[in-house]
Amino acid sequence: MTAPTLAVWKFASCDGCQLTLLNCEDELLAIAGAIQIANFTEASRQVLPGPYDVSIVEGSITTPSDAARIREVREKSRFLITIGACATAGGVQALRNFRDDLAPVVYASPQYIDSLRTSTPIAEHVHVDFELRGCPIDKRQLIEVIAAFLAGRRPNVRAHSVCMECKRAGRVCVMVAHGTPCLGPMTQAGCGALCPSVGRGCYGCFGPAPGWTFLPFGTAEPVRTEDDSHDVR
User: 182 and 175 in contact (C-beta within 8 Å)?
Assistant: yes
| Total residues found in the chain within this entry | 233
**Cβ neighbours for 91, distance < 8 A, ≥ 6 positions apart:** 12, 13, 59, 60, 84, 85, 119, 135
User: Can you say how many angstroms the Cα of residue 148 is from the centroid of all Cα atoms in its chain?
Assistant: 17
Distance separating alpha carbons of residues 138 and 53, to the nearest angstrom: 22
pLDDT in tens, the chain (233 residues): 678 899 999 999 998 889 888 887 777 777 767 788 888 888 888 888 879 999 999 999 999 999 999 999 999 999 999 999 899 988 888 888 887 777 788 888 888 888 888 899 999 999 999 999 888 898 888 888 988 888 888 888 877 889 988 988 888 899 999 999 999 988 888 888 889 999 899 988 887 777 655 544 444 444 444 444 444 44
- Burial annotation 64-97 (CB, 10 A radius, 16+ → b, else e): eebbeebeebbebbebbbbbbbbbbbbbebbebe
Q: What pLDDT shows up at residue 213?
A: 53
Q: What pLDDT shows up at residue 221?
A: 45
Residue 184: phi, psi to the nearest 5? -55, -40
Whether omega for the bond prior to residue 64 falls within 30 degrees of 0, making it cis, is: no
Q: What pLDDT shows up at residue 233?
A: 42
User: 142 and 132 in contact (C-beta within 8 Å)?
Assistant: yes
Q: What pLDDT shows up at residue 226?
A: 47
Express each pLDDT in 50-82 by its tens digit.
799 999 999 999 999 999 999 999 999 999 999
CB-count exposure of residue 37 (10 Å: 0-12, 13-18, 19+): middle
The letter for the amino acid at 83 is: I
Distance separating alpha carbons of residues 79 and 131, to the nearest angstrom: 11
